[in-house]
Amino acid sequence: MTILYSMIDSGNCYKPRLLMAKLGQSFTNVEVSSHTGATRTAEYVAKNPNAMVPMLELDDGRRIAESNAILLYLAEGTRFLPADRYERGLVYQWLFFEQYSHEPYIAVRKALVTFPERAKDATPERLATTLERGNKALGVMEQRLQRSPFFAGNVYSIADIALYAYTHTAEYGGFALSSFPAVGAWLKRVEADPGHVPIEWLP
């Protein structure tokens, strides 16, 4: 049985859960929470030296980490990864954008303001930087979504899953999604795609 090591309130971990739900792929979910230090135990670090979730373990014991790499692995040959070379290029573009220009600000700001163990890191400077850069990322998304229903073009792909994971909870981090109407409309389109499940969903 495929195993997903994941944390229930993590957007990065929600990405593969959402895709596997949509694919109807069966898996066992093993909760490994950074809140309790479970990502840093010797047993877990032996499996993932980067001490992070999510991590996927295949039936034969091989493992793959990094949420967007897991999405690419699972989406191979499905409707969630376009066959067209240019559209695939766009999927990669938005997956890299998510990790470099979006998640480090939008996900991190939410963690700073909502996770008690991160309160000590929530300095005024950090809160200001994450707000400014997160709003910049939302502005880039807004521009794209004014011209296209989904990130890779006309159809839903794993780029939408990757960007939905932390955008849909961005308001908990202090971002005003009402300032980004095309992003708001896209969130609804993502939720309307068949087989959508919320972040709390477990197999």
Minimal distance, residue 7 CB to ligand GSH, in Å: 6
For CA atoms 154, 77, 68, 97, the dihedral sign is: negative
Nearer to ligand GSH, 40 or 146 (CB): 40
Closest contact distance (angstroms) between CB of 114 and ligand GSH is 12
- Comparing CA positions, the residue from 127, 115, 10 lying closest to residue 70 is 10
Q: Shortest gap between Cβ of 192 and ligand GSH (angstroms)?
A: 25
User: Is the Cβ of residue 7 or residue 141 nearer to ligand GSH in the bound state?
Assistant: 7
3-state DSSP call for residue 12?
Answer: helix
Of 66 and 142, nearer to ligand GSH (C-beta) is 66
Three-class DSSP labels, 101-155: HHHHHHHHHHHHHHCHHHHHHCCHHHHHHHHHHHHHHHHHHHHHHHHCCECCECC
Helices 158-167 and 11-23 pack at an angle, to 10 degrees, of 140
Would you tell me which residues interact with ligand GSH (CB under 6 A)? 7, 10, 12, 34, 39-40, 51-54, 66-68, 99
Residue among 54 and 173 whose Cβ is closer to ligand GSH: 54
Q: Point out which residues pair with 31 in neighbouring strands.
A: 6
**Which one, 93 or 148, has the nearer CB to ligand GSH?**
93
- Cα–Cα distance, 64 to 149 (Å, whole number): 30
Smallest gap from Cβ 145 to ligand GSH, in A, equals: 22
Q: At its nearest, how many Å lie between ligand GSH and the CB of residue 134? A: 16
